Every structure is written in structure tokens, then in C-alpha cells.
Amino acid sequence: MRTAALQRWLEAGHQADMNWMAAPRRRDAASLLEGAQSILAVGLNYYVARERHPDSLAVARYAWGRDYHRVVNQRLRRIGRWLETIRPECFWRVCVDAEPLLDKAWAEEAGLGWIGKHSNVIHSRRGSWMVIGHLITTERLQADQPAKARCGQCRACIDACPTTAITEPFVVDARRCLAFHTIENRSPDLPADMAEAMGPWIAGCDICQDVCPFNQGSIPSSQDPDVQPRSWLLDLKAEEIQRWTDEDWDERLRGSALRRIKPWMWRRNAAAARPETPPSVG
């Protein structure tokens, strides 16, 4: 079912310029590791009970700390090496985000959480503030029950999106998504309608997650040092970014997932963004 949904999404052009998402290997985990029998899904909670300063530009929470690709990859590799000690004949492979895998669908199948209408995986107690990773192995593991969707009739994420990027439940059109345009769009100028709607968001966008009912209340605040925010990200000003040199960019974003946004893109985004006081989340 998820494979068919992906094909419909691709045929509609919702992947924009992200052509790697059409890789056929994403639909078959066995093609990534010969003899694969199981997939272990993990989630790294990156929610920290901190807020950006008033009148500052906004950066998506997943990027406040260390590059999650490295963090999750390193931790899953430790699991793989441990597995080798008790099952020397087994093989394994780690996949984190950029690997050709239907990561969210497998996370749902493994019981980590369900895919919400905003397309993020939601955990019943931790909400959707997590990045996911997988370890594919030739070892046959006891399977957990798939997660059951609990979004019901809720439309909070759909109604809150300022660019109507969530065209229908579970379908996000990257061509209308602020996260895509601030991070992946390599054009010198942002589309006028996206620039008009971006508000304070300069790197990614958390609006659909901020309004999700499962992200309200007393969700756990991570104490993991790898996800703690770099202080300057919580008080970011457009005029400061416009003065960045390539050396400033390199120093500030060393070991950060935000290095995907090149210096000229930061300046482009900063020129269009408009700071505002962040909403309070109860």
C-alpha cells in the first residue's frame, strides 16, 4: 500500500527536484542488503524545551544540535557491531534518511509510530519530534506489531500550513513546502508566493508539528547532548546572516545538518524572511 502511495506521489510531481526519491531501490529493503530478513527501526527524540528569542528568525528543531545523520548512524553502527558479537554470521546495513529506503513506512510497520497527516512519524508519547533510522540485517528478529494511526478526523496540520503544501491527508507537495524551498531549492530566487508566506522560517519549517495535538502538553524534553541547541540558532537575525563570510558559515555549521544550506542560500532566505514572536505551545 505504501509503495503504491509513493508511486502516485511521484507521478504527481510532489518530489519537486528531489529526483533521488524516485530510486526503485527505496521500495525493496532486500535490494539494499542481500539476504535481508529484518529491519530494526529507531527514533531519536530531538525535542528540547527551549524556544527561540522573540523577533528572531526560525530554524527547524531537528537541526538545532549535531547532524542527526551522523548521530543516528553512529549509534546504529554500535548496535550492528554488538549484533555481530552474538551472531557472527549475520550481516547488516545502516540507513539514515539519505539512504534509498521507505524509512517512514518501515518505521510504521515496525511499530515505532504512525505516519501522520503531515507525513511525519508520530509516537504516542513523544509526538513527532524525532528523526528515524534503520538497521537492515540478515538476522531474523521477532517482529513488533505495526503502529495504528491515531490522527482520526484531526486537520490541525493541514489547516495550519501557510502554503497549503499538505494537499490532502498524508500528501505533502514539496513544491509548496517551506522546508523544501529553504533547504533544497537551489534557485537564486525563491518563488514569490513562497517568499510571501515564509514568515520567520529561514531553515526548514515546524508549523505542522507545532500544532499537532500529540506534540502538546508534557512531552519529554531530551537531555541528550547531541540534540541540545547551538545558542546562536535561537537568536538569529537577518542582518547578521547577510554579513556572514564563507568562513563564518563553515565555523558555525561545523557538524550540523544545516550545512546543506549554502552561504548564498542563507542570505537569500534571510532576505525574504520576516521575524515574528514565536507562538506558545502548551
| 100 three-state secondary structure | coil
How far apart, in whole angstroms, are the C-alpha atoms of residue 49 and residue 127?
13
Return the residue matching grid coordinates 504512525: 114
Amino acid (one-letter) located at 164:
T
Hey, how many other C-beta atoms are within 10 angstroms of the C-beta on 55? 12
Catalytic residue chosen out of the listed positions 28, 55, 67, 97: 97
User: Is 246 a catalytic site residue?
Assistant: no
**CA diameter of the chain:** 57
- Asked whether 33 and 135 are in contact (CB, 8 A), the reply is no
Cα 6 off chain centre by: 17
- Asked whether 56 and 200 are in contact (CB, 8 A), the reply is yes
| 273 three-state secondary structure | coil
Residue 246: how many CA atoms within 13 Å on its side-chain side?
1
Q: Which three cell numbers stand for residue 227?
A: 540534540
| 225 three-state secondary structure | helix
Distant-in-sequence, close-in-space partners of 179: CB < 8 Å, separation ≥ 6: 60, 204, 205
Integer CA distances (angstroms), 14 to 106, 161, 165, in order = 21, 16, 10
The pair phi, psi for residue 228, each rounded to 5°, is -70, 140
The residues that are catalytic are 97
